[in-house]
Chain A
Amino acid sequence: MIARRALLAAVVIVALALIGPWLPAYPLTVLTQALIVAILAMSLDVLLGYTGLSSLGHAAYFGVGAYVVAIMTTEHQMGLLACLAAGVALATVTAAIFGLLAIRATGTYFLMITLALGMVIWGLAYRWVSLTKGDNGIAGIPRPTLLGIELSAPVPFYYFCLACAALAWVLMGLLVISPFGLGLRGIRGSEGRMQALGYNVWLHKYTAFVLSGLFGGFSGTLWAYYNGFVSPNDVQLVTAVETLLMVALGGSGTLIGPALGAGIIVFLKNFVSVYTKRWLLILGGVYIGVILFAPSGIVGALRGRRR
């Protein structure tokens, strides 16, 4: 079972690697964006699909990662590895602090607290103008150089993002099939039973929360390099909800599903918005449509799951 999934994963990655040089520039950049956002969606799936915690504040860690890179590259001209490390680290610390406050809550309260926490980061991005340049955002983030190789051109940067996405996928994939991952699925199934069996449920949930924030931050750091520009819009509520949609659309609790969902939403956004201004209307329709017609997502439907 695991071997089959690993094989499928390898095939997908190799296929993506091969088509890279052959795609025209625009589709290639959109695909790059999809890969970066897929990391974010998968990180949320760990929390939502596997542990069963619905969070509305996930954009916060994405934002922290992105802003750290933005500030370090434009103000201090720091290199790729330093920026990635700092971005991920700070996002993880943010998750660690927020987790202490959020994990004691359950259900609806958890949802609302994570929403409020996400807004705190948005608020900081918007108001702490001396640090984040507020509404104007931070522009001019240069593409990085990795071990002497310039990553500014679309194709090398694409391969870099593909490698990062593959790495994230492998790490998160191992996490969810490990004993710890099984514990998370147990928590989603029945917290009461897990307590009775002897698990410190709070600790497991907290760890999942922090790890989820870690990978979310990783996605954010890549985003800053990709977009060249970071603004409070990247941290707003709508972004957090969009991520939830990607998870639901693809199928929560499957990891590959959310990655697929991310791809679909990214492509929809980039192509549909070219043809119509009513992009939000369509997106809203997609939200409602998914809940009404495909509640367990695409991958869920393919696997014959019924909620």
Chain B
Amino acid sequence: MSAEFWIAQSFNGLSYGALLFLLASGLSLIFGVMRIVNLAHGSYFMLGGYVGLTVALRTQSFALACLAGAVAIALVGMGMERFFLRRLRGETLGQVLMTIGFALIFQDLALLIWGGDPYTVPVPKMLTGTVRMAGAVFPIYRIFIVGVAVLVGLALWLAMDRTRVGAMIRAAVDDAEMAQGVGINVPRVSLAVFALGAGLAALGGVIGGGFLGVYPGADFEVLPYAFVVVIVGGLGSLPGAVAGSLLVGLLDNFGKALFPELSYFTLFAPMAIILAIRPTGLFGRG
């Protein structure tokens, strides 16, 4: 294996990890604040991609597509939380079944509206093509994805660390009851976090749609990855989401490249080892 191979694969893993970060950071926050199991999170990704696709085709604007996708799905997510999930606090099984119900409905609606063919979200000219660095070739679009993830990560970190809203969220993650006790409007914080998580997932879907495509089944395909990231990183932890995304992105990529027949196994074995040592994930507080 040449150095080129390793560099290329590492970069692919990095960019995939960046995409996963968009998907999983929201999921981790949602878990952290509300302890909700949301199996429709992959659906947010897919629907975001589809909405972004339509907007991009209609308006020729990639930026607008990203915005529209994120906002639309954030609204969907808020609706789900406010009117359906809120009554299922603490009922894991109920949450699982209800969110899967939504996931199936979303899947069928997507099929109805957009049909069964795969599409690719059209991306602006300047993001296509490749660039040559250190003797290897890097697709610009993937660099773009990493850039977006880094920006989002920084923004989230600053928001959580420096703003009042961020402090409220962190308090709610730490101890929701106590937070409510000191006057934090936890239901409103929960709603906001849910919207944020859904919106980020959808953004990931639009951006991912530019190189992975948008297709039926993307929802259930990406869901286990999100879960593995959150398990490995630890519920409710932003650094955990970063570490987890990177790890999963790299492991998955190298696994597929080196041992294609073992796929999820190469992803899972390290996860098992990590969990054996730290059952609540790398940064989790269980």
Contacts and interface: CB of A to CB of B under 8 A. Distances in A.
Direct contact of A and B (CB under 8 A): yes
Contact of B262 (A101, A124, A283): A124
Contacts of A123: 262-265
A261 to B, nearest CB: 12
A150 B152 CA distance: 64
A127 B220 contact: no
B93 A287 contact: no
B97 interface: yes
B6 interface: no
A286 B108 CA distance: 14
B37 A120 contact: no
Interface in B103-132: 103-105, 107-109, 111-112
Given A115-B224, A117-B268, A120-B268, A284 B93 contact: no
Interface in B72-89: 84, 88
Which of the listed residues B31, B101, B230, B281 has the most CB atoms from chain A within 10 Å of its own CB? B101
B31 A108 contact: yes
Nearest to B36: A108
A112 B97 CA distance: 14
Contact of B105 (A109, A238, A280): A280
Given A105-B275, A116-B231, A237-B224, A287 B101 contact: yes
Contacts of A237: 220, 223-224
B271 A284 contact: no
A283 B100 CA distance: 10
Interface of B is mostly: helix
A284 B102 contact: yes
Interface size class of A (residues with CB under 8 A): 35 or more
B92 interface: yes
B282 to A, nearest CB: 13
Given A101-B275, A281-B109, A288-B98, A116 B104 contact: no
Contacts of A281: 104-105, 108-109
Interface of A is mostly: helix
Contact of B227 (A116, A128, A241): A116
A288 B231 contact: no
B261 A290 contact: no
B279 A241 contact: no
A48 B286 CA distance: 22
Contacts, number: 131
B219 to A, nearest CB: 10
A23 to B, nearest CB: 30
Interface string B43-66: 000000000000000000000000
Interface string A223-243: 000000000000011100100
B271 A116 contact: yes
A105 B279 contact: yes
B92 A54 contact: yes
Contacts of A129: 261
Which of the listed residues A116, A290, A295 has the most CB atoms from chain B within 10 Å of its own CB? A116
B228 A116 contact: yes
A54 B105 CA distance: 22
Contact of B264 (A119, A130, A241, A283): A119
Interface of A: 48, 54, 56, 101, 104-105, 107-109, 111-113, 115-117, 119-120, 122-124, 126-130, 236-238, 241, 244-245, 248, 252, 278, 280-281, 283-288, 290-292, 295
16 contacts: A54-B93, A104-B275, A104-B276, A105-B275, A108-B31, A108-B35, A115-B224, A120-B264, A122-B264, A124-B264, A236-B220, A241-B100, A248-B93, A280-B107, A284-B102, A295-B94
Given A126-B263, A244-B100, A252-B93, 6 more contacts: A107-B92, A109-B286, A127-B263, A238-B220, A287-B97, A291-B97
